[in-house]
Structure 1
């Protein structure tokens, strides 16, 4: 059930079928020269919608902005602070809880470590505040990289590379502008840098030239399967 498409009575009826909601988190972030800035949001929302076609659950509208640290110097990246993201996640889950939801999956299409740490922090706060809540925090990328091991050819593929280019070629081929080129960032270990683009000029981590739409279709199906297993475990959880 897509939340924004429901009427008030339909939402009430939905609560009699499920108390689970998926909340997709994304980003407005560069994805090389070939992928759209909304890639992360698109991927997270897509798998939530696919799963909603299989089983009764609510899909919240996506949060389009995230914490983008490594890509902060690249044109088109628009970031929010960790404090803002954490507060937003807490507010959203709290009000879904007030509405009767009890099982929450915060699924992020953006795999930034700082971004996801903020979501995890929010989840820990919510566990203390909401006694009946069961909460999962997962990155869509982790599911894709893990489940798609037999599909992906590029070791360490991470950002705007084979995985993400394949995914967008499958779902929105008209938004893919060429293929980009293989790249690995060269950030110095343990040292913070101001000019991040100097160490990562193209904004790609992986090899988008190995991408194709069929890989994207197969990876998406594997991610939806993994997400369904996570929901099943969450709904069966006892804390």
Structure 2
């Protein structure tokens, strides 16, 4: 009887340990690794942010903090390994300001490619990118599309949600500023920080600079230029952060986490992407041999 009870205790303890292994790569032990791979279904979250000015009131790492917090909360709901802080994004438009960490564009792409290759070498088959920086999506979409350029045994998934009309109505009902001008370190982003990391926000300084569009560039219809952001927001601040609230931040964060968890579960269960990716590579190889 005692032996049975001891065995039951050991099984229960192991089961509890299995549930409690860390999610962050840098906190896992080597003995945790096989279990983490199994529990995550070989899925890893790569949270990407940048280091840049966020008005006069919010921390330089706001985007990184968001991505880090989102990934941690998502992995708590649905287990996945989380890669440590990654802050090598597209940030050329902020190089005129102190505190900006901006690597050469070619190196930024090569570093992301090498990182994903190293994740694949470590056994991960599914890489979910969570992004916290508004300047990264065009680069990340291009990066993901470039995965078709050469064969690999992993797939990259970029979490890139579309607008939810119902949630947008709920969100707009709580907002105090015009969404059209709330683009960087304004009400929405600052509200999220007030909910996630309030001790890092110096809200009393939010009105020390103007976050209004300076409208310094003549409008050319149907044309895009890289200088547009600097022309409109040279202080790297777009919005009215002084009107931010933790209540709004909670609404936005909880909706985002729920959406990310749903995406992560679908990614972990997905078998078709890798299958079709392999089929594609084989057809490319076959075509090359025929020439």
TM over 0.5: same fold? yes
Q: Which runs of 5+ in 2 are unaligned?
A: 1-22, 274-291
The alignment covers a number of residue pairs equal to 236
Q: Assess, with a 3 A threshold, how the Cα gap between structure 1 residues 159 and 87 changes in structure 2: closer, same or farther.
A: same
Q: 2:119 aligns with which of 96, 112, 133?
A: 96
Q: Assess, with a 3 A threshold, how the Cα gap between structure 1 residues 56 and 192 changes in structure 2: closer, same or farther.
A: closer
Residue matched to 1:117:
138
Q: 2:36 aligns with which of 14, 21, 34?
A: 14
Checking the alignment, whether the CA contact within 8 Å between 2:52 and 2:101 is kept in structure 1 is yes
By how many angstroms is 1:23 displaced? 0.4
- Give the root-mean-square deviation of aligned CA atoms: 2.8
By how many angstroms is 1:50 displaced? 0.3
Checking the alignment, whether the CA contact within 8 Å between 2:46 and 2:82 is kept in structure 1 is yes
Q: Describe the SS at the equivalent of 1:151.
A: helix
Checking the alignment, whether the CA contact within 8 Å between 2:45 and 2:82 is kept in structure 1 is yes
Q: Assess, with a 3 A threshold, how the Cα gap between structure 1 residues 146 and 48 changes in structure 2: closer, same or farther.
A: farther
Residue matched to 1:230:
263
Map 1:3-152 → 2, pairs under 5 A: 3-18=25-40, 19-112=42-135, 115-138=136-159, 150-152=170-172
Q: Assess, with a 3 A threshold, how the Cα gap between structure 1 residues 146 and 106 changes in structure 2: closer, same or farther.
A: farther
Q: Which runs of 5+ in 1 are unaligned?
A: none
Q: Describe the SS at the equivalent of 2:45.
A: strand
By how many angstroms is 1:206 displaced? 2.2
Q: Assess, with a 3 A threshold, how the Cα gap between structure 1 residues 103 and 148 changes in structure 2: closer, same or farther.
A: farther
> TM-score, normalising length from structure 2?
0.72
- The structure with the greater share of residues assigned to helix is 2
Tell whether 2:236 aligns with 1:213: no
Q: Distance in 2 between matches of 1:109 and 1:144?
A: 18
By how many angstroms is 1:117 displaced? 2.8
By how many angstroms is 1:176 displaced? 1.2
